[in-house]
């Protein structure tokens, strides 16, 4: 039996078993809410939430188990000697990192530490990353989006949020290293982010949590006085440009293709602090930000306020009739918002409602001008299933929505959904396929660009239950690969991931061209070069120990396989010691590193790279340092001694 047949068989068996055990698809009566609440209560903050008074959603069609062979792909196997077709860029969730996964093989190729400490590379401990991170060593990355030009990826940068620390980071695609981290002023729970798509202009991010901000009338105890911010960051310079003050939690973010709008789903427009309060209203909103009006207001200083001592201009748009933000009513507690590759529609998803709200972007100007009501921008509300979260596209007019409670991906046709709005004999649903289990995000190859190619879809499942060997109570996530190249979706592969990526994008491989040898530019090298100038050093050639003060020493050394240019040095107990290592080798993949034993010092130095770390030599004695990366037959001999002299 092929792997595909096995998967299909497993799918069928699982579906049959669950029907018998729990009547999974039939639980949508009174019991459904209880089961729903049970499932939901075990989830991190992004899942659908239980309701005390939610009306019973109508039953959705039972998905049929899929026969194999619907797609054109025979296999997702990438044999030795061949390369994957896509760079998959995965957020790392609570790990605080980004991961690169080859698609379609689903092999994890690299982890890019961003908000976390990484023992392999020294990120989070080396001088540059400490400058970016301060004393923080954790983060929660949900959304990764590369920079754009002309509606498709330009292969320059990757932007990612940190929900835990209210930050946004940028990774360079040439080095696959983080070069900037920005803390969003008053960015409580910075969640949805999205760059502009016409060029590397602004990157928008939403603070999900409303909070008491330093504005008149705020009472820290009273959540009805809280507000939240939609923030614009310059993608080139990573400077904070402006913020828009609104009420309501903002969740996911998206942009149009022309640079006129940004979007945010808004839940908890009630401004409650507790679950029941957050669920009270039947409607929440899709916020549409009018970028021309906001930019003009910032330039003229109209409606601009300042928050505390933050220098970033803030446009106050809390008034429901504010000219800067269009509030389109959508069913309560929306989550995802995605824009179709033709740029025509923004699709907001219900979470608690089984429907999608399709907003026609061409109607937004009229709504901003007041000639039509905001709700008139909604041109269809297809019913997709229970707990719809996120939507991907194939570039052929179809949308693929992840349905959390049903654990399916629903393929539906956008044009048919719009036609069905006025003709209920039309069924826009093409197919539903079971995924395992409780899917969060879904995304397709190049889906968020005008070049969406409809080849592969990833379902990022929050639960893996029985799909892998039991490894204890903390199960891996399960990312599933689905072939969408044919009319029917076919499940191809299970891929375990360490907790907990939320989202991924797949970028066609010719767009991203990482370097193999360090090019020695950017803010990290600016920092080293400044020190070298100060000390009269040429980094690529010089090795020298410089006493900077009575209690600090700088050690410059080069390395070339299999030795360090410095095999011993002396410091005094209590000295702050800064080690700056430059790898002179210019051979591809010839990586060295530097580990000072017993001092928590360990970092990587790639070919032609420099890196530095600072530590305190707190104990007298002799300590070996060594190269921790296997670089040569005599790699184990690549080491030296630090002598720490006791202070009287
Ligand atoms: Cu988990 Cu994009 Cu933070 Cu939805 S979010 S699942
Ligand atoms: Cu250099 Cu091992």
Q: Whose C-alpha lies nearest to ligand 1, atom 3? A: 142
Q: Whose C-alpha lies nearest to ligand 2, atom 1? A: 592
CA of 118 to the centre of ligand 2 (A): 19
What is the widest separation between alpha-carbon atoms in the chain? 91
Q: CA-to-CA distance for 354 and 387, rounded, in angstroms?
A: 6
Domains assigned to the chain: 86-383+494-508 (2.130.10.10), 523-645 (2.60.40.420)
| Mean pLDDT, the chain cut into blocks of 10 residues (648 residues total) | 43 40 32 34 37 41 43 79 97 98 97 97 98 96 98 98 98 98 97 97 96 94 94 98 94 98 90 79 92 98 96 96 96 95 96 94 98 98 97 98 97 98 96 97 98 98 96 96 97 95 98 97 98 98 98 98 98 98 97 98 98 98 98 96 95
CA of 635 to the centre of ligand 2 (A): 5
CA of 561 to the centre of ligand 2 (A): 6
Q: Whose C-alpha lies nearest to ligand 1, atom 1? A: 46
CA of 541 to the centre of ligand 1 (A): 48
Q: How many residues does the chain have?
A: 648
Question: Given ligand 1 and candidates 502, 504, 505, which is best to mutate, with the most ligand atoms within 8 Å of its CB?
Answer: 502
Question: Which pLDDT does position 648 carry in this prediction?
Answer: 78
DSSP letters along 241-264, please?
A: EEEEEESSEEEEEEE-SSSSEEEE
**Can you list the positions of beta strands (E) in 504-617?**
504-508, 544-549, 552-560, 563-564, 568-572, 576-583, 592-596, 601-605, 610-616
Q: CA-to-CA distance for 406 and 435, rounded, in angstroms?
A: 9
Counting atoms of ligand 1 from 1, which one is nearest the CA of 191? 3
Counting atoms of ligand 1 from 1, which one is nearest the CA of 335? 4
Ligand number, closest to the Cα atom of 254 = 1
CA of 599 to the centre of ligand 2 (A): 19
Q: CA-to-CA distance for 118 and 66, rounded, in angstroms?
A: 42
Sort residue 166 into left (φ over 0), alpha (ψ -120 to 50) or beta: left
Q: Are 135 and 142 in contact (CB under 8 A)?
A: no
Task: Name the 3-class secondary structure at 234.
Answer: strand
CA distances to 122, 280, 307, 417 from 426, in Å: 57, 33, 51, 8
Q: Which residues contact 190 (CB under 8 A, 6 or more apart)?
A: 161, 162, 163, 165, 166, 167, 168, 184, 205, 206, 207, 208, 231
CA of 410 to the centre of ligand 2 (A): 51
Q: Which residues contact 11 (CB under 8 A, 6 or more apart)?
A: 65, 66, 434, 436, 491
Beta carbon of 144 within 6 Å of any ligand 1 atom: no
CA of 636 to the centre of ligand 2 (A): 7
**Which residues approach ligand 2 with their CB closer than 6 A?**
561-562, 592, 627, 629-631, 635, 638
Q: Return the closest-CA partner of residue 67 out of 135, 7, 139, 146.
A: 7
Q: Are 335 and 206 in contact (CB under 8 A)?
A: no
Counting atoms of ligand 1 from 1, which one is nearest the CA of 142? 3
Torsion of CA 291, 402, 87, 192, to 10 degrees: 30
CA distances to 115, 161, 206, 246, 531 from 164, in Å: 10, 9, 13, 21, 33
Beta carbon of 566 within 6 Å of any ligand 1 atom: no
Q: Return the closest-CA partner of residue 266 out of 325, 219, 308.
A: 325
Question: Given ligand 1 and candidates 250, 252, 265, 499, which is best to mutate, with the most ligand atoms within 8 Å of its CB?
Answer: 252
Q: Are 190 and 142 in contact (CB under 8 A)?
A: no
**Can you list the positions of beta strands (E) in 321-397?**
325-331, 337-339, 345-349, 356-360, 378-380, 388-393
Counting atoms of ligand 2 from 1, which one is nearest the CA of 559? 1
Angle at 181 between CA 176 and CA 187, to 5 degrees: 135
Q: CA-to-CA distance for 610 and 592, rounded, in angstroms?
A: 10
Beta carbon of 145 within 6 Å of any ligand 1 atom: no
Counting atoms of ligand 2 from 1, which one is nearest the CA of 561? 1
Signed CA dihedral, 267, 273, 278, 280: sign only:
negative
Question: Which pLDDT does position 281 carry in this prediction?
Answer: 79
CA of 148 to the centre of ligand 2 (A): 38
CA of 316 to the centre of ligand 1 (A): 27
Beta carbon of 351 within 6 Å of any ligand 1 atom: no
């Amino acid at each position: 039996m092929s792997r595909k047949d096995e998967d299909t068989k497993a799918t069928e068996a699982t579906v049959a078993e669950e029907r018998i055990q729990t009547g999974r698809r039939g639980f949508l009566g009174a019991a459904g809410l209880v089961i729903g609440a049970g499932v939901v209560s075990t989830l991190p903050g992004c899942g659908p939430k239980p309701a005390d008074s939610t009306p019973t959603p109508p039953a959705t069609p039972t998905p049929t188990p899929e026969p194999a062979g619907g797609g054109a792909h025979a296999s997702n196997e990438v044999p030795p000697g061949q390369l994957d077709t896509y760079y998959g860029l995965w957020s790392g969730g609570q790990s605080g990192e980004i991961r690169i996964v080859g698609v379609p093989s689903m092999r994890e190729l690299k982890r890019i530490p961003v908000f976390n400490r990484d023992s392999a590379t020294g990120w989070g401990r080396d001088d540059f990353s400490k400058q970016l991170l301060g004393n923080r060593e954790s983060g929660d990355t949900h959304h990764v989006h590369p920079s754009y030009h002309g509606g498709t990826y330009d292969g320059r940068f990757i932007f990612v949020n940190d929900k835990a620390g209210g930050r946004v980071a940028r990774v360079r695609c040439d080095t696959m290293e983080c070069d900037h981290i920005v803390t969003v002023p008053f960015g409580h729970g910075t969640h949805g982010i999205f760059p502009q798509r016409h060029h590397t202009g602004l990157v928008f991010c939403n603070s999900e949590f409303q909070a008491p901000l330093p504005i008149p009338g705020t009472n820290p105890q009273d959540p009805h006085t809280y507000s939240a911010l939609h923030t614009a960051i310059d993608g080139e310079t990573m400077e904070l440009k402006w913020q828009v003050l609104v009420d309501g939690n903002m969740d996911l973010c998206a942009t149009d293709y022309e640079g006129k709008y940004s979007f945010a789903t808004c839940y908890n427009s009630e401004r409650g602090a507790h679950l029941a309060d957050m669920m009270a209203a039947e409607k929440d909103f899709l916020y549409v930000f009018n970028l021309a009006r906001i930019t003009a207001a910032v330039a003229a200083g109209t409606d601009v306020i300042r928050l505390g001592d933050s220098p970033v201009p803030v446009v106050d748009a809390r008034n429901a009739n504010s000219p800067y933000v269009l509030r389109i009513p959508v069913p309560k507690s929306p989550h995802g918002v995605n824009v179709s590759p033709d740029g025509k529609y923004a699709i907001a998803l219900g979470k608690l409602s089984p429907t999608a709200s399709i907003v026609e972007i061409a109607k937004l100007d009229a709504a901003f001008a007041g000639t039509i009501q905001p709700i008139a921008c909604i041109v269809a509300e297809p019913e997709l299933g229970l707990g719809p979260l996120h939507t991907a596209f194939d570039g052929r007019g179809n949308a693929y929505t992840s349905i959390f409670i049903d654990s399916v991906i629903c393929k539906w046709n956008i044009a048919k959904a719009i036609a069905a709005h006025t003709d209920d004999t039309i069924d826009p649903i093409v197919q539903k396929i079971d995924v395992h289990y409780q899917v969060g995000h879904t995304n397709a190859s190049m889906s968020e660009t005008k070049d969406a190619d409809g080849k592969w879809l990833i379902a990022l499942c929050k639960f893996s239950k029985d799909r892998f060997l039991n490894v204890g109570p903390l199960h891996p996530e399960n990312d599933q690969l689905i072939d969408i190249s044919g009319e029917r979706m076919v499940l191809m592969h299970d891929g375990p991931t360490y907790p907990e990526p939320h989202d991924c994008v797949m970028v066609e491989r010719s767009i991203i061209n990482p370097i193999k040898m360090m090019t020695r530019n950017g803010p990290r090298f600016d920092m080293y070069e400044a020190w070298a100038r100060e000390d009269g050093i040429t980094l690529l050639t010089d090795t020298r120990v410089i006493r900077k003060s009575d209690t600090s020493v700088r050690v410059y050394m080069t390395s070339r396989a299999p030795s360090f240019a410095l095999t011993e040095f002396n410091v005094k107990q209590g000295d702050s010691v800064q080690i700056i290592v430059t790898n002179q080798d210019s051979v591809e993949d010839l990586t060295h590193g530097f580990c000072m034993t017993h001092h928590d010092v360990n970092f990587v130095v790639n070919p032609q790279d420099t890196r530095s770390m600072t530590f305190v030599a707190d104990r007298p004695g002799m300590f070996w340092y060594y190269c921790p990366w296997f670089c040569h037959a005599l790699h184990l001999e690549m080491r030296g001694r630090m002598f720490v002299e006791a202070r009287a």
